[in-house]
Amino acid sequence: MKPLDISVESNGVVILTLQGSLSGEETMEALKKTIKACSDIIEDLYKGEGKKLRVLIDMTAFSGEYEIQAMHYMNEFGKRHASHIEKSVMLSGTVKTDEMGLAMTDQQAKKFVEHERESALAFLE
């Protein structure tokens, strides 16, 4: 299982899924690789669409366990793409997942939604 995955809905909404635990040397290496792959996709979408993206960050499968290095990687990922994002919403439910989510997003362009995928997608419309 990849620690971070990306998909794009037919309506153009980008889904970032953070899953499992973000701890251990092997997971940190996998996280760096998946961040790079996700970054490339986000860059291509942004350039191809010519407009800012709408992003749903699904953290419902994230255990909430992470190393400080993972927080740093996710923060850098978020900062790198902040100018590409129109709005983002998080599916989360615990303080730990919220901490990681905040590291990934521009706090002014996000909304927290607790396990309500339909509401999250509606917010992005």
Q: Is the pLDDT of residue 7 over 70?
A: yes
Of the segments 32-46, 48-62, 70-84, which one has the largest average pLDDT value?
32-46
Q: Is the pLDDT of residue 40 over 90?
A: yes
Short-list 117, 125, 53, CA closest to 83? 53
Residue owning tokens 């899924």: 17
In order of start, what are the domains of the chain with their CATH numbers? 4-124 (3.30.750.24)
**pLDDT for residue 70:** 93
